[in-house]
Amino acid sequence: MEQIKLDACPECDLLLRQILPESGEKAVCPRCGYLLYRPRKQSIERTFALSIAGLIVIFPATLLPLIGIKLLGNSHDGTLWSGVIGLFAEGMWAVAALVFMSSILFPLINIILSLLISAHLHFNKPNRHLGRWMRWLQHLDEWAMLEVYTLGIIVACVKLASTADLKLGLGLYAFVVLLVITAMLASSLDTYLFWQRIARLRRDEA
């Protein structure tokens, strides 16, 4: 017997047969009008391009000065990385770990996973790890709240710059670009399409 795949409408629980709309179309619930699925345009290509851009910009964001401080004629540059090391040296290892994870580690993992998955799908290369990578990428979303916290760092830097003798550094601009790229990555990722393509690659390989 052929298996019929059914989805329940999240809004009104009507059981619906699974369909896959083309790009530009959308699937809506016939009973309540809930938007079930709208394919995102060129999701794989956009994710691929954005993750390459993210991989480039994450280096200046981490290693170039976020702010420069002028004190008694001496100028000190604070990078994200030196900030983490400084917090750690001061014994504030929990804060150091939080800053490191939210502003360096998670964006990096997010970008690398997006790049790996979209590159394999774009070039139709099967890989037995694709499903695992995709699950990890989706679990990273649970940490997305931390972006709010990194925004807090930026606001603090900008406020400090207006009161103290501080200068905004190139690293801060790179960091803002990185945040924008991360947000665009999240909005371009069509998980429904990605899972379908992963399943198709697995079938083709078998």
Segment lying near Zn ion (by CB under 5 A), choices 5-13, 35-43, 65-73, 145-153: 5-13
Per-residue burial over 161-185, b = 16 or more CB atoms within 10 Å of its CB, e = otherwise: beeeebebbebbebbebbbebbebb
With CB under 5 A, what is the number of residues at the site for Zn ion? 8
- 31 contributes a contact to Zn ion by CB under 5 A: yes
- 11 contributes a contact to Zn ion by CB under 5 A: yes
- 12 contributes a contact to Zn ion by CB under 5 A: yes
- 16 contributes a contact to Zn ion by CB under 5 A: no
- 32 contributes a contact to Zn ion by CB under 5 A: yes
Give the span between the Cα atoms of 126 and 205, in whole angstroms. Answer: 7
- Written as one letter, the residue type at 194 is F
Write out the binding residues for Zn ion, residues 128-187 only, by CB under 5 A.
none
- 29 contributes a contact to Zn ion by CB under 5 A: yes
Q: Whole-number minimum distance, CB 64 to Zn ion, in Å? A: 50
Q: Whole-number minimum distance, CB 194 to Zn ion, in Å? A: 25
Quick one: which of 27, 34, 131, 140 contacts Zn ion (CB under 5 A)? 34
Q: Which residue has the tokens 């991989």?
A: 55
Backbone angles phi, psi at 147, to 5 degrees: -60, -35
Q: Whole-number minimum distance, CB 36 to Zn ion, in Å? A: 8
Q: Whole-number minimum distance, CB 12 to Zn ion, in Å? A: 3
Q: Whole-number minimum distance, CB 21 to Zn ion, in Å? A: 16
69 contact partners, CB below 8 Å, separation of at least 6: 75, 76, 77, 78, 164, 165, 166
Give the span between the Cα atoms of 52 and 120, in whole angstroms. Answer: 14
Q: Cα–Cα distances in Å, from 181 out to 30, 38, 63, 87, 110? A: 36, 22, 18, 27, 11
Segment lying near Zn ion (by CB under 5 A), choices 30-38, 61-69, 89-97, 121-129: 30-38
- 27 contributes a contact to Zn ion by CB under 5 A: no
Based on its alpha-carbon atoms, the radius of gyration of the chain, rounded to whole angstroms, reads 22
Where does this chain bind Zn ion (CB under 5 A)?
A: 9, 11-12, 14, 29, 31-32, 34
